[in-house]
Structure 1
Amino acid sequence: MEAFQRIADESTDPVYPGSRAAGTEGYADSVDYVAGLLRNAGYTVTLDPVPVTFFRPSTLSQVTPTAAEHPIAIATGSGYGTFSGPVIPVDVNLSGDRVNSSGCEAGDFAGLDFGGPTDIALVQRGTCSFEIKARNAEAAGAEAVVIFNQGDTIGGGDRLGVVSPTLGAFQAEGPVVGTSFAAGEALARAGSTALIDVQEPEQRTDYNVIAELPGENVDNVVMAGAHLDSVTEGPGINDNGSGSAALLETALLMAKSKTPNTLRFGWWAAEEEGLVGSRDYVAGLSQAERDRIALYMNYDMVGSPNYYLGVYDADESTFPAPVVVPEGSEAIEDVYEAYYTKVGQPYDDSEFSGRSDYQAFIQSGIPSGGLFTGAEVRKTPEQQAVWGGTAGNQFDPCYHAACDDIANYDAGALEVNSDLIAYAMLHFGYSTEAVNGVPGKKVPGPAFTLPAPAGPEGTFAGGGGGLAHDHVHDHDHERESA
């Protein structure tokens, strides 16, 4: 953990210093650090190249009548460039129910002067698709388009925050960006001018780090992984230095082990950009290679400062999964829960949503499981009674923020989970029979009998298990404006 903090601190990346984000110097140094320790321990290490799209910071700055920086989301299909000019509202509705058809018809632009060299069209979410709004604005002569959220709460939903437009098959010539309703209100004021800067992304190459310890059975592979990158905002010590460090410690401790099954460890690139590294890895495997993987275990955020101890709910006893959970995954959950019971640690279910690096594995039918200690969801009083911490605060108050640094983890939670990560790797290294039916052996040494799981605490008031349904790891975006 301290090494990952030091790597971020020493990064002089020209775009995102102080981070270990995909495509940066900090990520490259993280790869070198992990790979170097593994090689020194005797592992054969593969640096698996991963193409990543590197985005430079984009901005939406209001210049007049009051200077302000507004939040921004780049539309799919957006053009690029820097434009500074007048902001021209197009049939927007800022009051009442805020129902509108802003930009849905060519006639909405009639009588508006888009004859200048850098005119910015301001349109509101509502009625028609983002694509239609952007097409009409560009056809009217706008050099850039800002789409702000509608500002209502239809069906109990929230249309106040930053909207992420998708433009379908349309490729705009100029920038098309989304922003919040509050930003739209400010930009709609008379005399508004703004600066939009959207830089064209670069294609760069990052690397997954793969290390393998051959066992007696090379056709029965036990695999575990953790993403190695951070977000651009900071060093990413809990997310996901915690999982990366715990997995690295396990690999180093097991370097001289001789297990019946082959052990494989993976540190993934560009998880924060949409699970890029793990998806690329699984996509590059032949069906025969996928069939050799008996199971996959994922460790993403295992030391949250205001933690709970969560286990992916493979048996769907608490959370119906929005994905098909491969047969055998329940046996992985059972081992985690039995271990927590053995060491006297309460645990709970975490939604098996497919929103981290295990997604590509379960989509390929590979049994999977994992641990999680919470992200942006707030801890309930019931959870505080079980795990301590502070009710009303997020499980990780520094989630995806600059303050996710060396002070942002709970050492006790990380120690418990690090021990469990090592135990699970050893347990399945000797036998995956409960997962895929392949006969195994008993772990040598003093007997360590796991009891029946005590059962989850059942303290969650809502879905997600510590991970909000709009958690950015899955990078979902709204596809229609209505």
Structure 2
Amino acid sequence: MSLRTIRSRRSAATAIALVAVLGAAAPAAAAPDRELGDRIGVNEVNRHLIAFQRIADIHGNRASGHPGYEASVDYVAGKLRAAGFDVSTPEFSYQAYFLDSFALSAGGQPVEGDALEYSPATPPGGVTAPLSVAPVDDTPGCEAADYAGTDLAGTVVLVQRGACNFSEKARVASELGAEAAIVYNNVDGPLNGTLGDPAAATIPTAGVTRQVGEQLAGRAGTEVTVDVQSRLESVTTRNVLAQTRTGRTDNVVMAGAHLDSVPDGAGINDNGTGSAGLLAAALEMGGSPDVHNAVRFAWWGAEESGLVGSTKYVQGLSFEQQLDIALYLNFDMIGSPNAGYFTFDGDDSDGVGAGEGPYGSAQIEQDFIDAMARRGVELRGTDFNGRSDYGEFIAVGIPAGGLFTGAEGVKTEEEAALWGGTAGESYDPHYHTAGDDLGNVDRRALKLNTKGLADVVAGYARSTEAVNGMRTRAERAELRAAQGSLMAARLDTAKVPHGHDLS
């Protein structure tokens, strides 16, 4: 089923559910509590970033399954315990993908590219075979008919991105006898892709830029070597959960950020900034604040391996425990050096991508817009594309939102005029590289976003009435049950690592 079909059916079902359950429009929003944000300075946030950098310097990185991540967990959990929170660090296990080496060549000359995540390994030395080229049509490489007249047996197939998941392109090519696949981008920039999970992986699969792909497309028959040395290992790691000791526990405000980095480095913007901003807000709030609703802060593990920590957490909750969560707020990269200022498009007013979030997400979007406007920042929308830890919360009908300053996307002329920075360059030129260090942060963006997130979290700790739009737990249960299966269907294929696309 297409996303458009799912979205149309979801919109109709949600409208019916809203009329039946609510019977009236949601109340107006309560003003965000600016006091908490005003008490937070950028220096205290930066101190946490320094800690993350030093941890990475000692241990090499802060990736889940590595000592640097465990040290990051201990640092965050220790701060929260000292502030009086109820803190836990629950363990979970998963199959982690490790790419030990990758090489691609054509006609004996090296070609720039990378393995798609979860690509199976080749034999040592790689797979060498003639290059076949998939015709470019509306569904390139998505079905066997796309290769009519092209013999893939014993070849490495080159196929353009688009219309279906990378794993589907690899599966079709494999069934037609291809030894390996190369997917090239259909837009400028690198192709940061994933096959989704080990079960979806069929043949070794690489990704290259549009420019490289278009050059290779004119070299059908050339001997190509794809060398992927990868492995799967079982990894046990931890999340960090810290809840206030005050406030209603059946109407909890949740706010989260992923704590892990990629293996290449310290991950100071991705996602030290979100982790540090959230930690600063939590410590300023304290473990026993004067609030109506309890606040549960979360630092997720293994986000970079496929949103694993947050997904396992939500899936481990009963429906009643999910109902105890009023909403979820996500903060992933809030200090990009060429920063954009984005909030998740809860009402799909931009008309881009996957569609609106569960009921209440539109109000969350507006509350972030209002909070940041009070600090002189005009936000723009960003799609709920499933690339961060809100994914599983949305899938079970929990309203969500958050802040984001951009990753590998390119800043437009309009955005540069609005926010400053450099048009035509990515929001974070060092995204997912060893260069993501203390020098890779816009402190102004970090300060403003930390204050904005603190304002909104504190406002919801006072009242979530505008988001829920309902007076009773039973009404909330009815609406989430109506939404849950539809939202899960939309995001079923979207639980991917931040920065890695499925299609």
> TM-score normalized by structure 2?
0.71
Partner of 1:177: 205
Q: Secondary structure at the match of 1:84?
A: coil
**CA distance in 2 between partners of 1:102 and 1:65 (Å):** 29
Residue aligning to 1:473 = 498
Equivalent-residue separation in structure 1 for 2:393 and 2:410 (angstroms): 29
1:326 is aligned to 2:367: no
2:36 alignment partner in structure 1 = none
Match runs of 1:54-65 below 5 Å: 54-61=96-103
1:400-419 equivalent positions in 2, closer than 5 A: 400-419=432-451
Kept after mapping to 2: 8 A contact 1:64/1:191: yes
- Calculate percent identity across the aligned residue pairs: 38
Alignment of 1:396-475 (within 5 A): 396-437=428-469, 473=498, 475=500
More helix by share: 2
Distance, in Å, in 1 between the alignment partners of 2:446 and 2:126 is 51
Q: Does 1:39 align with 2:81?
A: yes
Larger Rg computed on CA atoms:
1
- 208, 223, 240: which one aligns with 2:271: 240
| 8 A contact 1:148–1:162 mirrored in 2 | no
Match of 2:236 in 1: 205
SS of the residue aligned with 1:200? strand
Judged with a 3 Å threshold, the aligned counterparts in structure 2 of structure 1 residues 367 and 297 are, in CA distance, closer, same or farther, namely: same
SS in 2 for 1:21: coil
Residue aligning to 1:257: 289
The answer as to whether partners of 1:4 and 1:235 remain within 8 angstroms in 2 is: yes
Q: Residue 74 and residue 317 in structure 1: after superposition, are their counterparts in 2 closer, same or farther (change >3 A)?
A: closer
Structure 2, unaligned stretches of length 5 or more? Answer: 1-48, 161-167, 472-493
Q: Equivalents in 2 of 1:159, 1:383: separation in Å?
A: 19
**Alpha-carbon deviations, 1:308-357, whole Å to 9, x = none?**
32222223333456144222223322322222232333332333334321
1:368-418 CA distance string (max 9 Å, x none): 111111222222232222222222222222222221110111111111111
**1:395 has 2:395 as partner:** no
SS at match of 2:363: helix
Match of 1:130 among 170, 177, 186: 170
Tell me which residue corresponds to 2:62.
Answer: 20
CA-CA distance at 1:69 after TM superposition: 6.1
Q: CA RMSD in A?
A: 3.9
Query: Any stretches of 5+ residues in structure 1 without a counterpart?
Result: 12-16, 115-120, 139-144, 440-468
2-structure distance, mates of 1:381, 1:363:
35
Given the superposition, is the C-alpha separation of residues 83 and 318 from structure 1 closer, same or farther in structure 2, using an over 3 Å criterion?
A: same
Alpha carbons of structure 1 residues 38 and 345: separation in structure 2 relative to 1, 3 Å: same
Which of the pair has the greater relative contact order for Cα pairs under 8 Å at 6+ separation?
2
- Structure 1's 320 and 137: CA in aligned 2 closer, same or farther, altered over 3 A? closer
SS of 1:262's partner is strand
**SS of the residue 1:378 aligns to:** coil
Instruction: Name the counterpart of 1:305.
Output: 337
- The 3 A distance-change label for structure 1 pair 70 and 261 is same
Partner of 2:380: 348
Amino acid at match of 1:28: E
Distance 1:428 1:166 in 2: 34
Cα separation, partners in 2 of 1:391 and 1:36, compared to 1, 3 Å: same
**What whole-Å deviation, never above 9, does each CA across 1:62-109 have from its counterpart, x for those lacking one?**
689646365232586x654532377231655899xxx99999699948
Asked if the contact 1:88/1:188 (under 8 Å) is kept, the reply is no
